[in-house]
Amino acid sequence: MFTGIITDIGTISSVDQRGDLRLVIGCHYTMDEIAIGSSIACSGVCLTVVEKGNGCFAVDASAETISRTAQGLWQAGSRLNLERALKVGDELGGHIVTGHVDGVGEIVGSDPVGDSWKVTVQAPASLAPYIAAKGSITVDGISLTVNEIADQSNGLVRFTLNIIPHTAQMTTLDTLAVGRQVNLEIDVLARYLKRMEDLRAAA
């Protein structure tokens, strides 16, 4: 379980194709505090620490994980938003995040507004029922608030985000190029509400 509050930015230092993809990620975490088998969210994907070294840890990403996440993310030199798993007593500063990517979105607009950036993300039609204005969404592991939402004629959905300077500085959203793919996780509460709505409709 995570909160979507990023605590470090890691960089993939090496990629080794084995049965799965072994990734070594450099970071600023104190390795003595990270146990083998612990979970770390890497740009919104919950992965398990399988090795650790001086200023780095290794994870295995399966073919299923690669196929369901943003293209080009899992390669040497890529920067990842990192968050360690929530512990009892930690502050819930964002919202409840599971670390399971529901879909891949694409940045289709990126415009400065004052000191912040207005970012427009296009999401798959399958996620449209779960995204609402002023609701929470996780983008590349970051807990963010949806400002506006617009359903498209082709079934896709577009929503806007406001990226303040602090968020940009502390995450990989310091680069917001149009065309960039991002990992999306819907709010778990929206998931349950949609399920209850479907059951009522079928009754």
The segment(s) of the chain belonging to CATH 2.40.30.20 are 8-84, 103-202
Of the pLDDT bands very low, low, confident and very high (cuts 50, 70, 90), residue 198 is confident
Q: What's the pTM value of the predicted model, to 2 decimals?
A: 0.93
Which of 134, 122, 147, 150 has the alpha carbon at shortest distance from 187?
134
User: What CATH architecture does domain 103-202 belong to?
Assistant: Beta Barrel (2.40)
Note the pLDDT tens digit of each residue in 11-33. 999 999 988 999 999 999 999 99
Who has greater pLDDT, 190 or 61? 61
pLDDT of residue 200 exceeding 90, the answer is: no
8-84, what's its fold?
Elongation Factor Tu (Ef-tu); domain 3 (2.40.30)
Q: How far is CA 170 from CA 13, 48, 54, 166, in A?
A: 20, 23, 22, 6
Residues 6 or more apart whose Cβ sits within 8 Å of residue 130: 102, 186, 187, 190, 191, 194
Note the pLDDT tens digit of each residue in 72-119. 999 999 999 999 998 877 777 788 899 999 999 999 999 999 999 999
User: Where do the DSSP E strands lie in 54-186?
Assistant: 56-61, 79-84, 103-113, 116-123, 136-139, 142-145, 148-151, 157-163, 181-186
Tell me the C-alpha distance between 97 and 101, whole Å: 10
